[in-house]
Amino acid sequence: MIATGIGYDVHRLVSGRLLVLGGVEIQHPLGLEGHSDADVLCHAIADAILGAAGEPDIGHLFPNTDPSICGISSLEILRSVRTLLEQKSIRLYNIDATLIAEEPKISPHLTLMKERIGAALALPPSRVGIKATTNETIGFAGRGEGMAALATACVDRPED
């Protein structure tokens, strides 16, 4: 059965944190706040895949109350999601994601993001779509207070 899922995530920008997007450290004066590395792009992708697979969101699998995963790489979260798919004989076809942020420019990092996300999910980079857009200075993202990401995933899963 072909199934699709949608993921959404948002994190506040704060000082004193590294900015990690799509598994890539990006030079920026602010980073995303969160229990993990707060990679908003990977989190939205994980939730999209989990939704397509009929599973709970990453908050259930990786709760922010678990001290053992404090600072975990979101690429590790994606690898865990891939393992869950494999255990359930679910095939991931592709993901498509959009990052919403006023800055920094994402285009110089897209190739490496696709490679890292693809490797974590056992997908060729050509099946990893990543786009970026601004919020036209409107709302929290437009004011540079945070970043958001949306993602979709397509899977083939066994009939229930």
Q: Tokens representing 109?
A: 């990092």
pLDDT digits (tens, 9 = 90+) for 114-134: 999 999 999 999 999 999 999
pLDDT at 119: 98
* C-alpha dihedral sign at 114, 118, 119, 121: positive
pLDDT digits (tens, 9 = 90+) for 6-54: 999 999 999 999 999 999 999 999 999 999 999 999 999 999 999 999 9
Q: Map tokens 């190739």 to a residue.
A: 111
- pTM as predicted: 0.96
Measured CA to CA, the distance from residue 106 to residue 60 in angstroms comes to 29
Measured CA to CA, the distance from residue 45 to residue 89 in angstroms comes to 19
Domains of the chain (ranges; CATH) run 2-156 (3.30.1330.50)
pLDDT at 62: 92
Output the 3-class SS for 109-152.
HHHHHHHHHHHHHCCCHHHEEEEEECCCCCHHHHCCCEEEEEEE
pLDDT mean across residues, the chain: 95
